[in-house]
Amino acid sequence: MTRPKILLLGEIEHAHDAWKAVTDAADVVEPKATNRDEFLAECKSGAFDGVSAIYRTGESAAITGNVDVGFLDALPKSIKFICHRAAGYDQIDVDACTAREICVSNVPTAVNDATADTNMFLILGALRNFPAGMAALRRGEWRGSDLALGHDPRGKILGILGMGGIGRNLADKARAFGMQIRYHNRRKLDPEHEEGAEYVDFETLLKESDVLSLNLPLNPSTRHTISKDQFAIMKPGIVVVNTARGAVMDEAALVEALDSGRVASAGLDVFEDEPKVHEGLLRNDRVLLVPHLGTYTIETTIKMEAFCINNVKKAALEGALITIVPEQRDLEARLLEGRDV
């Protein structure tokens, strides 16, 4: 009997036991390519023929590039599943995958705690002006000469844009700091998931929040959701934090809003063009900058790897995913129906 084949793009760094259960049952191939052109040529050479499922990390894009039409066209037709080891899957053209009946999974839930922890750190740091004080200390000036007093989170309105798993986890944490939670989402949540958070329209969220947290996924329709026009109606002195993806906000417009004082301070874990960071953010010590460390813990990395490994294992051995990205629920239903016939 032929063993299933998996293409590994990236590394398994921690969940070695879970991965061993995969390699016991399936053959794993890895590319030799060191850049995108070589990878596409390797695909076309037949090196990955017979592979049914891919396990990929976001970091693997440094070699293969994004999962776009060019990538998908080079893959052997045998590939039916792409299992992505991250929550955000903006590197993957899901519509192009759907058109080729390639199912995609990401890693939801496992990332919620660590990302919301980072989010809370950014909120506290930006509210309290910690980056300016910390920078002064490192310059040998203790607090510096004009360190502004910070603000307490208690009693402040936290506006969460995107109330998915991370947004709801953040809401729980922020409640413990005495913040009042409001949110905006495509759809209002069922009351049992709101836990007292108030649903408001997008404009109200911008106009009335003391702190705005961006927790929405990046896709073609959410790019630059926050730009010049949105900054213009925000409450003056607002604090803006982002742990989602840099490009949900127009970074140049944020720099202007910080320079004009409309935005008092910001906390950012993600950037539009990582690993580059806008000069206007680097020079501004009212901005707390973190190099995309939202999920960067041992515990969460193990959970994320195990989640993705379970998906790729089921894909390769049983021809199905445990979780599919929401945009492909119809595709999944169609494929399952086809299989029953």
Q: List, by residue number, the catalytic residues.
A: 245, 274, 292
To ligand O=CC(=O)O, the closest distance from the beta carbon of 58 in angstroms equals 7
Neighbours of 328 (CB within 10 A): 21
Answer whether 18's CB lies under 8 Å from 309's CB.
yes
Please name which of 98, 80, 107 lies closest in space to residue 316, comparing C-alpha atoms: 80
- Residues in 88-117 that interact with ligand O=CC(=O)O by CB under 6 A: 88, 111
Binding to ligand O=CC(=O)O by residue 87, rule CB under 6 A? yes
Using CB under 6 A, count the residues that bind ligand O=CC(=O)O: 6
Q: What angle do CA 333, 337, 340 make, to 5 degrees?
A: 145
Please name which of 160, 256, 269, 178 lies closest in space to residue 215, comparing C-alpha atoms: 160
Give the dihedral sign, CA 266/271/273/276. Answer: positive
Name the CA radius of gyration of the chain, rounded.
22
To ligand O=CC(=O)O, the closest distance from the beta carbon of 251 in angstroms equals 17
To ligand O=CC(=O)O, the closest distance from the beta carbon of 276 in angstroms equals 17
Interface residue with ligand O=CC(=O)O among 124, 151, 294, 331 (CB under 6 A) is: 294
| Choices 39-47, 86-94, 162-170, 204-212 (CB under 6 A): range interacting with ligand O=CC(=O)O | 86-94
Interface residue with ligand O=CC(=O)O among 53, 75, 79, 86 (CB under 6 A) is: 86
Answer whether 53's CB lies under 8 Å from 83's CB.
yes
Q: Which is nearer to ligand O=CC(=O)O, 85 or 128 (CB)?
A: 85
- Encoded tokens for 195: 């836990």
Contact residues for ligand O=CC(=O)O, defined by CB under 6 A: 86-88, 111, 294-295
